[in-house]
Amino acid sequence: LLGRLMGLYENIGRAYASFEFREAVKRIAEAGSEGNTFFQNHEPWKLIKEDKDRAHDILSVCVQIVRDLVVLLKPVVPSFCEAIEEQLCMKGLSWQDLGKEIVNHTLAEPRIVLQRLEEAQFAEMVQGKEGKGGALEVAPELDFVIEPCLAKKGIKVHYAEICNIRVKNKHAGLEALKKEACAALSKRDIGNEPILREYDHIYNGLGLKDVPSGIRYLYQMIKDKGKLPTINTVVDVYNLVSAQRLVSVGAHDMNKIKGQILYYEMYDMKKEYVPLNTANVANATLKETIGKHEYVCADEKHVLCRLDIKQGNHTRVDSGTRNVVVYVQGNAETSDAYLKESVREIAENIVRFSGGTYVLKQARVAPAFEKRGEKKEGKREENKGGKAKESKKSSSEELSLSFAALDLRVALVKGVVAHPGADKLYILTIDIGEESGEKKSGEGEEKSEEKIDKGKKKCVKDGTKGAERAKGNRRERQLVAGLRPYYPDPHGLVGKHIVVVANLREATFKGEVSEGMLLAGDTLNEKNKKDENDKQGAQEAGTVGVLLAPESPPGERVFVEGITEQPAETVEFRDFLKVGLYADQKKIWHSGKPLRTLHGEITLDRITGKARVR
């Protein structure tokens, strides 16, 4: 590790010497990530209980990495680095200290140097403070999701979130690049390019004949006019890279996007589609009919782009855009590495000609995805008289379930026992903060008493007095969960503050009733995709971890900021799967916002990377 880092330090030094500060900071972030991975993989907080000397060695290496990062960051954030130097008791660090071993050294008392800046605080700080192009705008965090059926066709998306840009109508340096590129592209024969043939194959598979890709349109313009179009310094950059690398590209104003970005097949007629450059968006009628088998890129209110070709007008990028998402849609002939480099090139050039900073990301494939625009048919059943009758739909079947419909609560695990009839299931006794006489959603008084009586028998197994479930101030619930293969020691779950869907319709598993459902993250669908050399990935592949709220009392509501509607009385499991929840960096997300309680954000046990949540 230290040898690799020294090589990275040399690259950082060369970047500084060449005044390539952006490259230097990027490489410093890589070094920090290496150190963090080393710390997380070795878990010194656990190791110290078994081998204090080994834990000491691990932490010494970590301190050395922190010291090196301070040296590297001094030209960028000197005041912050001075504060860390004080805690390290290493004032006056210089480039010559990089890589030196630390021996017999005592650290100062730790203190928090940086405070988390919440979005509301930031908005308040910048409100009314105008720069050259107007007030700063806070960029929303995006959640980009692809429908599984499109992923199976080879469609994949990499994107960049680029913030605090100043879009110009044109830039002399960019115009020079375009002119030089067009001279080379005009001689290029794209007739048999595999990437373009695969885009055509996707369109043909959807029943769309003779649909030209945006890339072919750009080449036709170069052939006819000898140049690429001039729109602005964002659109012109991505058109240039799109033509050079033969990838489909789109861009949208992030502050105009409403909720998730969804890539899915079939069109929801409730969503509005107004083609690009329509004069009056507010009053415009639907200009084009979107075919049933086409796919669209849409947010929660509008179609952003028809196929990967025709962009909508609602999120167009113009001189007022401050934050933009640029995405590259690939196919079976484009690797993830190729797409990532394509979007990186676009982001670098946008920043070069429009300013700002960027972050690269990859769209996730949803584990379960609602078919927008597909009307759910009531199931037909045969009654005793032999006539078909229409089954009654529940409210959750008639409406598309949103996050607001879920009643997510913190629950304290009081007891855990093995299910007597299933080797993968546990039966959990939980305290969800309900009063003993309180009814659950959709539950009558008689049914409630029946569950309490059944609970008395079960509590004998987990060591709790049966009468306690029905007396006193609290009423406990029973959950059935498939955690035994992943938490082989049931005592490891007792005492945890977990998250449950309190209004999920009851279900019976092998004769045991589950009154709700606990939430967990898993990487089971990634277990065959991990690189054998990726130790952290190999460790986490096929792992399950429960959602945790350690500082929150039982019964506290779990929410997402900005969603205030009351939950539904009851939700079905199949409808719960349509709500997009996912984990990343140990946090749980919905529509780009973290799940939290009044006492803090929800975290994921045992998994540090990306995971689905269900």
> Alpha carbon 324 to chain centroid distance?
17
User: And the tokens for 384?
Assistant: 């005793």
**What share of the chain has pLDDT > 70, as a percent?**
75
Q: Selecting from 3.40.50.300, 1.10.3080.10, 3.40.50.10490, 3.50.40.10, what CATH number does the domain 144-365 have?
A: 3.50.40.10
In whole angstroms, what is the distance from residue 161 CA to residue 255 CA? 11
In whole angstroms, what is the distance from residue 338 CA to residue 329 CA? 11
Residues 6+ away with beta carbon under 8 Å from 102:
60, 63, 64, 67
At residue 374, the pLDDT reads 39
Tell me whether domains 2-97 and 144-365 share a fold.
no
328 within 8 A of 347, measured Cβ to Cβ: no
In whole angstroms, what is the distance from residue 317 CA to residue 59 CA? 48
In whole angstroms, what is the distance from residue 388 CA to residue 381 CA? 6
**Bigger pLDDT: 126 vs 358:** 358
Confidence class for position 325, pLDDT limits 50, 70, 90:
very high
**CB-based burial label for 104 (10 Å; 0-12, 13-18, 19+):** exposed
Instruction: For residue 560, give the amino acid letter.
Output: V
Domain locations along the chain: 2-97, 144-365, 401-613
Q: Which of 574, 152, 589, 148 is nearest to 367 (CA)?
A: 148
Beta bridge mates, 389: 381
Confidence class for position 524, pLDDT limits 50, 70, 90:
low
At residue 489, the pLDDT reads 92
In whole angstroms, what is the distance from residue 75 CA to residue 190 CA? 47
At residue 518, the pLDDT reads 96
Please tell me the CATH code under which domain 2-97 is placed.
Answer: 1.10.730.10
In whole angstroms, what is the distance from residue 199 CA to residue 368 CA? 25
Q: Which of 14, 56, 8 is nearest to 32 (CA)?
A: 8
CA 277 vs CA 284, 301, 311, 328: distances in Å: 11, 19, 9, 22
Beta bridge mates, 82: none
The Cβ of residue 389 has, within 10 Å, a number of other Cβ atoms equal to 12
End-to-end CA distance of the chain: 36
In whole angstroms, what is the distance from residue 569 CA to residue 440 CA? 9
Task: Supply the mean pLDDT for the chain.
Answer: 78
At residue 273, the pLDDT reads 63
Predicted model pTM = 0.44
Average pLDDT over residues 255-267: 72
Q: Is the pLDDT of residue 201 over 60?
A: yes
In whole angstroms, what is the distance from residue 598 CA to residue 329 CA? 39
At residue 284, the pLDDT reads 45
**Bigger pLDDT: 387 vs 244:** 244
In whole angstroms, what is the distance from residue 396 CA to residue 143 CA? 24
150 within 8 A of 372, measured Cβ to Cβ: no
Q: Is the pLDDT of residue 130 over 90?
A: no
Average pLDDT over residues 33-58: 90
In whole angstroms, what is the distance from residue 433 CA to residue 414 CA? 12
In whole angstroms, what is the distance from residue 162 CA to residue 251 CA? 10
The per-residue pLDDT for range 80-89, each reduced to its tens digit, is 888 899 889 9
If you search the block for the tokens 């005009």, which residue do you land on? 186
At residue 525, the pLDDT reads 56
309 within 8 A of 214, measured Cβ to Cβ: yes
The per-residue pLDDT for range 411-453, each reduced to its tens digit, is 999 999 999 999 999 999 999 988 765 555 444 433 333 333 3
Backbone angles phi, psi at 174, to 5 degrees: -70, -40
**DSSP sequence for 348-417:** HHHHHHH--EEEEEEPEEPSS---TT-PPPPPEEE-TTS-EEEPPPPHHHHS---GGG--EEEEEEEEEE
Q: Which of 319, 315, 159, 357 is nearest to 233 (CA)?
A: 319
CA 358 vs CA 27, 115, 236: distances in Å: 15, 23, 18
Provide the 3-class DSSP secondary structure of residue 156. Answer: strand
Burial 9-37 (b: 16+ CB within 10 A, else e): beebeebbeeeeeebbbebbeebbebbee
Quote the crossing angle between the two packed helices 235-245 and 336-354, to the nearest 10°: 150
Please tell me the CATH code under which domain 401-613 is placed.
Answer: 2.40.50.140
The Cβ of residue 473 has, within 10 Å, a number of other Cβ atoms equal to 9
Average pLDDT over residues 269-278: 61
The per-residue pLDDT for range 295-320, each reduced to its tens digit, is 888 887 778 887 777 777 788 899 89
132 within 8 A of 355, measured Cβ to Cβ: no
In whole angstroms, what is the distance from residue 280 CA to residue 271 CA? 17
In whole angstroms, what is the distance from residue 135 CA to residue 115 CA? 24
Confidence class for position 575, pLDDT limits 50, 70, 90:
confident
